[in-house]
Amino acid sequence: MSHTDEAVPVRHLSAKERGLLLDRYRVTDGKGFRLKDRDPGDTAGHLVGKHEAQALLNGGVEHLSTLQEKLYAQDRWAVLCVFQAMDAAGKDGTIKHVMSGVNPQGVQVTSFKAPSAEDLKHDFLWRAAKALPERGRIGIFNRSHYEETLVVRVHPELLQKQHLPPELIGKKIWDNRLGAIAGFERFLADQGTVILKFFLQVSKNEQKRRFMERLNDKKKNWKFSASDLKERHYWDQYQAVYEETIAATAAPHAPWFVVPADNKWFTRLVVVAAIVDALDRLDLKPPPLTQAETEALDAARVELLGEA
Ligand code: ATP
Ligand code: MG
């Protein structure tokens, strides 16, 4: 299906094209998973082209908007999209573009920053659980509970702030946390939450280029943060913990998408395709009316027609 409008070009990927695209980046089983086998500059060869990027994004955004309305009307499934990435990989821009066509009332975005004093009084999944989307809604986690096996692992001093009983901080803590996250997601999936996890994989070179742009372009100065540069020094440690985290938590009911992030146009296409694909599989339709509800509609019709 494709058509052209002069002002707003739109092309929809077919379900088959979408499947081929997503198969390249979806991880549902961590066995043998290596980040270095993945190319942050990949753009899926001939499957999609940069010249049609805008039309494809428009098509995806339009499709997502339609599916989201049905999700809301059906009010059974919830959708949770988790975004994780190194700084400047494009999380914010991706979320903004992919969700641009969706009714804001059906979407909730939560940004997970360093935990508050209150957060730290609870278990590490507490604040994630509080922010989960209701049925019928799409929840976006801009960073997430995954920070607990990423930044906290790279900077173990953060663990000391978590008020844990010291005897529970041992060698097994990371495996325990990964297991807890996997269990949490299994539970959510069984309760009707569709879980999609995106790791926007940017290369170290491209991150440098984007940092330089933030330093040199006055309009982008506000995006630069010295702490991002500090985290860059831990690049290799982050790659290692991302690899282990993704491998330990990839599952058919909670797949990771390792999305190449050196080309923003491509990142957005893959993310919107993944969400469309997941919603498209749900067979979304409003729940059938009961006899009583049908009768109530008939009565309302009669009443309105009877108005003077
Ligand atoms: P942007 O820079 O685009 O605004 P961001 O997600 O990088 O987006 P920041 O406010 O710069 O937002 O960073 C949030 C910081 O909070 C990150 O460094 C992240 O690692 C940290 N953080 C998030 N969750 C936790 C956690 N559970 N424990 C410790 N630090 C965390
Ligand atoms: Mg930041």
Question: Could you give the C-alpha distances from 235 to 75, 118, 204, 302, in angstroms and in order?
Answer: 42, 30, 8, 68
Specify whether the CB–CB gap between 265 and 49 falls below 8 A. no
**Spatial CA neighbour of 268 closest among 94, 101, 88:** 94
Rg (alpha carbons) of the chain, rounded to whole number: 22
Q: Which of 183, 198, 215 is nearest to 270 (CA)?
A: 198
Q: Which domains does the chain have, with CATH numbers?
A: 15-305 (3.40.50.300)
- CA 143 to centroid of ligand 1, rounded, Å: 7
Separation of CA 147 and ligand 1 centre (Å): 8
86 alpha carbon to ligand 1 midpoint, in Å?
A: 10
Output the pLDDT for position 81: 98
**pLDDT tier, 3 (very low <50, low <70, confident <90, very high otherwise):** low
Given the DSSP bridges, would you call strands 26-27 and 256-260 parallel, antiparallel or unpaired? antiparallel
Nearest CA to ligand 1 atom 17: 113
Instruction: Provide the 10 A C-beta neighbour count for residue 25.
Output: 22
Looking at the CA of 156, name the nearest ligand: 1
Question: Taken in order 26, 32, 38, 44, is the CA torsion positive or negative?
Answer: negative
Q: What is the pLDDT of residues 271-302, one digit of tens each?
A: 999 999 999 999 898 888 999 999 999 999 99
* CA angle at 83 for the pair 93 and 267, rounded to the nearest 5°: 50
Name residues with Cβ closer than 5 Å to ligand 2, which is an ion: 87
Instruction: Tell me the C-alpha distance between 67 and 65, whole Å.
Output: 6
Q: How far is the CA of 228 from the centre of ligand 2 (A)?
A: 6
pLDDT single digits (tens) 145-204: 999 999 999 999 999 999 999 999 999 999 999 999 999 999 999 999 999 999 999 999
Q: Over the stretch 223-251, which tens digit does the pLDDT of each residue have? A: 999 999 999 999 999 999 999 999 999 99
Q: What is the rounded average pLDDT of the residues 200-226?
A: 96
| Ligand 1: lining residues by beta carbon, under 6 Å | 87, 92, 112-115, 142-143, 147-148, 151-152, 158, 225
State which ligand 1 atom lies nearest to the alpha carbon of 145. 27
Which of 86, 91, 92, 112 is the best mutation target for the ligand 1 pocket, counting ligand atoms within 8 Å of the beta carbon and taking the most? 112
Q: How far, in Å, from the CA of 131 to the mean position of ligand 2?
A: 20
Q: What is the pLDDT of residue 194?
A: 98
192 contacts 76 by C-beta, under 8 angstroms: yes
Q: How high is the pLDDT of residue 87?
A: 97
Across the chain, mean pLDDT equals 96
108 burial via Cβ count (<10 Å: 0-12, 13-18, 19+):
middle
Tokens, residue 99:
């969700």
How far, in Å, from the CA of 156 to the mean position of ligand 2? 19
Query: Which residue's CA is the nearest one to ligand 1's atom 16?
Result: 113
Q: Going by CA atoms, what residue is nearest to atom 13 of ligand 1?
A: 113
